[in-house]
Amino acid sequence: MNKTVHFLNMGLKDYKESWEYQEHIFQNTIALKLKKTREDASIKTPNYLLFVEHPHVFTLGKSGEINHLLTSEKELNSKGVTFYKTNRGGDITYHGPGQIVGYPILDLDNFFTDIHKYLRYLEEMVILTLAEYGLTATRSNGETGVWLDVNTPFARKICAMGVRASRWVTMHGFALNVNTDLGYFDHIIPCGIKGKGVTSLEAELNKRIPLIEIQEKLLKHFKTLFEAEFLFDN
């Protein structure tokens, strides 16, 4: 098993460009797995973790409903917001500046072949990171992601998740609201969940947190949970 993970901080990057880059790595990894099975068992498949910020964009998962977008695409375009239907799981969400979007492209054969465990580890990485700021975040039964004040009238999501997997190779991932403009969520029913709000670290702590500081904590907890080693790519 290869538990080395190539880490790349992509900075501010267009959603479609990032998606195509993910797909390139994803398909190459699957092709390498097939070659390993058919020709050479000694081949080691790579793992990647990408961090990125996106310009304003709404994305709809393959199980999502278009009526959860509450604004016309024409109006979105006038506001400089793009919209994409994607091949990840989950419903509709927003990405934008001040948000850390993480795309782990892992061969789970290098770690464990359990998608539910994989999602719980991603959630735990975020929960442990938020705990370092005095926030008690938890999971919500039946609702993937990370929440505050679950089972109260004030339940609000701080991190959304949606993944795709094929032959135990993953792509897409999580979006953690750090200094995110939460007003953009008014244009959607976030994750298709009615009656619950969204929040950010900035909103909870009443101060802005440098993204690099949060990224370092996420990497620390990812490394521990997945028992991984990072290679930092330029």
Backbone angles phi, psi at 21, to 5 degrees: -65, -45
Largest CA distance in the chain: 56
Whole-angstrom distance, CA of residue 33 vs CA of residue 108: 11
Helix/strand/coil (H/E/C) assignment for every residue in the chain? CCCEEEEEEEEECCHHHHHHHHHHHHHHHHHHHHHHHHCCCCCCCCEEEEEEECCCEEEECCCCCHHHECCCHHHHHHCCCEEEECCCCCCEEEECCCEEEEEEECEHHHCCCCHHHHHHHHHHHHHHHHHCCCCCEEEECCEEEEEECCCCCCCEEEEEEEEEEECCEEEEEEEEECCCCHHHHHHECHHHCCCCEECCHHHHHCCCCCHHHHHHHHHHHHHHHHCCEEEECC
Catalytic residue among 57, 191, 198, 228: 191
Active site residue 191: yes
Q: Tell me the one-letter amino acid at 1.
A: M
What are the catalytic residues?
191
